[in-house]
Amino acid sequence: MIFQVQQDRLLGRQGAEHILIEAWGRNALRVRAGLMAFTDEYSALSPLVTPTAVRTERTEDGAWIENGMLRCFVHNNGWMAFYRADKLILKEYYRDFSGANAHSPSMKLTAREYKPIRGGDYALTLRFESRSDEKIFGMGQYQQDNFDLKGCVLELAQRNSQVSVPFYLSNLGYGFLWNTPAIGEASFGTNFMRFTAESGVQIDYWLTADETPHKVMETYTGAVGRAPAFPDDMLGLWQSKLRYRTQDEVLSVAREYHRRGIPLDVIVIDFFHWVRQGDWSFDKDYFPDPAAMCRELHEMGTRCMVSIWPTVDRKSVNFQEMRDLGLLVRTERGSMQCFDFQGDTVIYDATNPEARAYIWQKAKENYYDLGVDSFWLDEAEPEFAAYDFDHFRYSTGSVLRAGNAYPMYHAKAFYDGLIAAGEERPVSLLRSAWVGSQKFGAVLWSGDVLSNFQSLRDQLTAGLHVGIAGIPWWTTDTGGFFGDVTAPGFNELLIRWFEFSAFSPVLRLHGDRGPHDIPNLSDLDYGGGFSPTGRPNELWSYGEEVYRILKKYVDIRLGMKDYLRRVFREASETGAPVMRPLFFEFPHDKKAWEIGDEYMFGGDYLVAPVLEEGVRERSVYLPQGSWRLCTDGTLYEGGRAYLIPAPLDVIPVFSLVRANTAG
């Protein structure tokens, strides 16, 4: 390999392949490799990141570049190895003829592969050596309860309830970002690790190394963006269901909360409050005076959030204009249909700045100007009728090449619009995200999940990984989305889930509650009376015992508002997640890296949710230190596990007793 050693970057060339390694933030390097000119078109990284202290050097067997604690060696044969100070943390997988490699040279397998595909792009593969002592966390949200991702194969694609945010944190002291929105796969195998992109022009990744997870996350979020300040008046209860069909239904629920003296921060109006998908306006037959509705909600201290879908029905008032202006997602063959739920619909192209401006203007005129405070950006993956990613194209390129960034651009459309309208702290609720979505005020929720205890366990794992991936604002459909209120054990599930949600970043009650025996408001096949609704889903909808417990946790949540403000401020300032794995606060405790059914809520509280039906006590591991059980004040010394009582109305929560805390 021929090297050019410059002050803050290292260039290499071997045949048609070029590599570029640059200092990119504190203790961080960005690596690009390809057969064409390099581009920043699809990068999630900020272009303005100051390096630490950069040093480059040419040696007999290769070249080095060093930025603070992170060092990279590039061998003359092209493979790379990364070090935290002098400790090897990551090495490319190389099985070719080389005096520096003792593994199976006859395989002729190199770390980086570029397979040409029609249209000029390449299918890309990057391989690393696997280490048996490594644990991996992050990568977004997957519906599984694997806490340590080592051994997992993850599709890098957005689906309903699956969110690809391809950053991981390793217990070896580094963080890694696969810096492309292409559809692909991440495989953390025990024989080797592999990242693939089905379409692209360059391999692009970024690493940082540091002493603690806190510092790794601070550097990572500094490079891709952090969440802004969170509104104080959204830290309490968010009320939602499938679905409030009329203005009167919305107001009757809000009035009942007000009558009971329960602060309601947000009430959500779900889908088909419109006539057609893509109208982005209220159906006036069912919402005759939304401005008056919003005024009354505001008088009661409640924000109004409205669901917006990216889908545009062919019969929508906006379809023809959007098609003529080229604002819709294109299909590569056949019909231009994208989605077929309750209509023949196409999806607006959020990657197109003109399309983003268009949808925001409609939302502003028909919602925001009437008093609607924020938006629920449902279907934000976007959801296709079939996830045939090779069939669709955005303005930024084929979905194979650029698809995973769509939800980030969708969040940006509303964030930019709300900022321009004068909002200081915009918040949108989305069902999907990508790297950097957090900087556009995105609250991610975990999608349409089942109402059962396995799903609850999956959501805890998902929330921890999402936070490590850089998205601190996260929530779930409390009780699950698909649930039958008459099913045995549903109330117990709802209580346990609500207890968990009270110690989640956002406390939100939502779900499609069956059985579905409520008649539609209209026999038409469109409009606000067309779609069905689920059973009631308010705090008082499940009987007095359930109401008493749920209200207890609303009160606990409200009593923690000062603490929540501090934790959310920390997320904005340093990138620290609100929900944190134990190892995030206790990285030197080896046991903390293995515990996936407990978590830290901020830096002061350890939460041990009950995740199985019928359980009334559970084992809780406490890291080193002194801990106080919040229910009765009992003190426990850390470094071991305890069997803790957990009756139905109790979720075990411990507060960390700081050295300067009295008692």
The catalytic residues are 378, 381, 448
Q: Could you tell me the CA-to-CA distances from 116 to 36, 120, 125 in Å, in that order? A: 12, 7, 12
Main-chain phi, psi angles of 379, to 5 degrees: 60, 30
For residue 177, list its beta bridge partners.
167, 206
Q: What is the DSSP string of 362-409?
A: HHHHHTGGGT--EEEETTTTTPPSS--GGGEEETTEEHHHHGGGHHHH
Checking DSSP bridges between strand 507-509 and strand 237-239, what pairing results, if any? parallel
b/e map 98-109, b = 16+ CB within 10 Å: beeeeeeeeeee
What sign does the dihedral 485-487-492-498 (CA atoms) show?
negative
Nearest to 596 by CA among 253, 285, 147, 217: 147
Distance CA 485, CA 475 (A): 21
CA–CA separation, 263 and 555 (whole Å): 9
Q: Which of 239, 147, 249 is nearest to 479 (CA)?
A: 239
How many Å separate Cα 187 from the centre of its chain? Answer: 19
User: In this structure, what token pair is assigned to residue 575?
Assistant: 């990138």
**Is 80 in a helix, a strand, or coil?**
strand
Q: What is the DSSP letter of 317?
A: T
Of the candidates 371, 204, 543, the one whose C-alpha atom is nearest the C-alpha of residue 363 is 371
Amino acid at 545: E
Q: Are 200 and 213 in contact (CB under 8 A)?
A: no
Q: Which has the closest alpha carbon to 302: 398, 378, 371?
A: 371
Determine how many CB atoms are found less than 10 A away from the CB of residue 60. Answer: 5
How far is the C-alpha of 327 from the C-alpha of 347, rounded, in Å? 9
Distance, in Å, from the CA atom of 278 to the CA atom of 225, rounded to the nearest integer, reads 31
Nearest-angstrom CA–CA distance, 535 and 523:
20
Taking a C-beta distance cutoff of 8 angstroms, is the pair 492, 648 a contact?
yes
Distance CA 465, CA 146 (A): 10
Task: Strands of 421-492 (E only): list them.
Answer: 428-430, 442-445, 474-475, 482-484
Listed in sequence order, the residues at least 6 apart from 106 whose beta carbon sits closer than 8 Å to its beta carbon are: none
Q: Quickly count: other Cβ atoms within 10 Å of residue 52's Cβ.
A: 15
Query: Measuring CA to CA, which residue among 632, 615, 553, 594 is closest to residue 146?
Result: 594
Q: Are 463 and 432 in contact (CB under 8 A)?
A: no
- One-letter amino acid at 179 equals N
Is the CB of residue 56 less than 8 Å from the CB of residue 7?
yes
